[in-house]
Amino acid sequence: MFSLYRRRFLQQISSLGLALSGNALFSRFLEAQAKPSEGPARVLVDARRKISPLDRNLFGSFLEHLGRAIYEGIYDPDSKLSDAHGFRKDIVDEIRRMGVPIVRYPGGNFVSGYNWLDGVGPKDSRPVQLDKAWNSLNSNQFGTNEFMAWCRAVGTQPLMGLNLGTGTPEQAAALVEYCNVESGTQWSELRRKHGYPDPHKVKHWCLGNEMDGPWQIGHVTAKEYGLKAEDAARQMRYVDPSLQLIACGSSGPSMPTYLEWDREVLEECYDYVDGLSLHRYVGNTKEQTGEDSSKYMAINLTLEKQIAETLAVCDLVRGHKRSPKKLWLSFDEWNVWYRAGSGDAVNGHRKQAQHLLEEIYNLEDALVVGGMVNSLLRNADRVKIACLAQLINVIAPIMTNANGFFRQPIYYPYDWALQYARGSVLNLLVESPTYDVEGMGPVAYLDVAATLGDDGRTTLFLLNRDLAKPRQVEVVWQDKAPARVATASVLTGPDLKAVNGFDAPQRVAPSPLDKVSHASGRTTLELPPRSYSVVQWEA
């Protein structure tokens, strides 16, 4: 038993290496551990050891009025592939099949200059607006009601973004009234007049977007934003007390105001909100990884550091306020994004539906996204909403053209989370050989997360960070071994830089994970080098 706890301790240290890198004592300890080690890995699974029930909203996504996400992506009335509402049928079918639980809309940076009234009512009287965030045009032919109809068509829930840039708390409350009040008030009657007799019943709302960023329209200080968010939240709750409200936290750890922004905002609005947002985009860049793929494979651990630090601030303010309420986190933008982020890639040149932020993802990005999925799962006790940013065409797993769509490599780990992560997240013990990563100490080759469905199915999500060698894994069932393997798939390949496209849509795609042996309660796997796998067992 002692050695079990010692191993667990070592495992935690290795995954916290980044979080504690500022601590000299700990760094020395980590350095002492830093020698790459060899040998098989073990994953110890005990169904009684749970982190938390899994909120399916952990695998939401995001659609912004940006580039070809809305226009051409999901809404294209002139397309041969669209239905009577102008929705791309192939995309409706795909998102419905994936089961995306919640979709954030309409931004992003876009929302901070958006007047929701421009996007409702008769289509021929909606104005064509200049979207200053992306220097693009918005014909407003797709607005709040079209989004709600699209959500119903694909079977998802809306996560509505509010304009707290140029918008006022009064306008935010008016939108809640427009969406959620049945009838008999100015804004609910307007919705009915627009042809929507039933309220949309939107539960989750983001109080602005990245308000800490100097790039954000209406950017203010933390205190000013905190007061505005508090006022908006109060007015919105007068209209509908059942809302779940998310305040804007820091837009990333590289912000100079990181965490201090969160603290100051929460000191103003803690009592009025339920969650705090955080955002994160990573990349295999000189600054983040030295363009070293083996370091890139470990970058999901920095997400966990960000989550831990943000929660620490939430709980600090909770203490200050002597509040019984514990906030949860909304990781409402996360992804790989580092190529299509400047110049023409972010400039719409005052046209609609330009090719903006059309990042082309490769195999190594997909492995990193798999790692990020694992990190979110491990934090499912406090991260209740998370949105892969974004869904279609813009830094997206799905890319369209006039004739169809293809799936980018990052699609697969996200889709596996949607298909297989169910029930509760398990607290695993993972014993793994490590490798030394500059600035991070020893990092485990194996990164694993697991869920246990209400139907008794256990699923493991396994990242093998070893770029060169396969890794042997023994799964040790500490309480009861499952009956049989139901699914075993792997995403891997010889070329970390391989991508998909309309010409080769399946270049990077899952294949069966062959080397799985499950007999007499003993399970072993061989994970190929540079791979992300999902294995599910039936009880």
By CB under 6 A, name the binding residues for ligand AHR: 64, 107-109, 209-210, 333, 389-390
Can you point out the beta strands (E) in 181-300? 204-207, 244-247, 275-282
Tell me how far, at minimum, the Cβ of 210 lies from ligand AHR, in Å.
Answer: 5
3-state secondary structure 401-435: ECCEEEECCCHHHHHHHHHHCCCEEECCEEECCEE
Closest approach of ligand AHR to the CB of residue 134, in Å: 8
- Decide: 361 and 505 in contact? Cβ < 8 Å: no
* Cis peptide, bond prior to residue 439, ω within 30 of zero: no
At how many degrees (to 10) do helices 363-378 and 300-321 cross?
30
221 torsion bin: left (phi>0), alpha (psi -120 to 50), beta (else): beta
| 43, β-bridge pairs | 430, 475
Q: How far is the CB of 279 from ligand AHR (least distance, A)?
A: 6
Q: Which is nearer to ligand AHR, 333 or 466 (CB)?
A: 333
Nearest residue (CB) to ligand AHR, 55 versus 210:
210
Q: Cα–Cα distance between 372 and 115 in angstroms, integer?
A: 34
- The CB-of-275 to ligand AHR minimum distance in angstroms stands at 16
Q: Which of 64, 72, 146, 210 is catalytic?
A: 210
Burial class of residue 253 (count of CB atoms within 10 Å of its CB; 0-12, 13-18, 19+): middle
Name residue 484's amino acid: R
| Nearer CB in complex with ligand AHR: 396/475 | 396
The H or E element containing residue 488 is strand 484-491
Q: Which of 72, 146, 333, 359 is catalytic?
A: 333
Q: Which is nearer to ligand AHR, 75 or 334 (CB)?
A: 334
Cα separation of the two ends of the chain? 26
Q: Is 189 a catalytic residue?
A: no
- Residue with smaller CB distance to ligand AHR, 16 or 345: 345
- Which of 389/398 has CB closer to ligand AHR? 389
> Catalytic residue at 333?
yes
The least distance separating ligand AHR from the CB of residue 33, rounded to whole angstroms, comes to: 36
Nearest in space to 40 (alpha carbons), one of 396, 463, 475, 532: 475
Q: How far is the CB of 358 from ligand AHR (least distance, A)?
A: 12
Gyration radius of the chain over CA positions: 23
Cβ-contact 474, 526 below 8 angstroms: no
Question: How does strand 244-247 pair with strand 204-207?
Answer: parallel
The residue nearest ligand AHR at its CB is: 108
Residue among 87, 159, 149 at smallest CA distance from 120 = 149
Nearest distance, CB of residue 496 and ligand AHR, angstroms: 24
Which amino acid, one-letter code, is at 387? C
Q: Nearer Cβ to ligand AHR, position 262 or 333?
A: 333
Catalytic positions, written as ranges: 210, 333
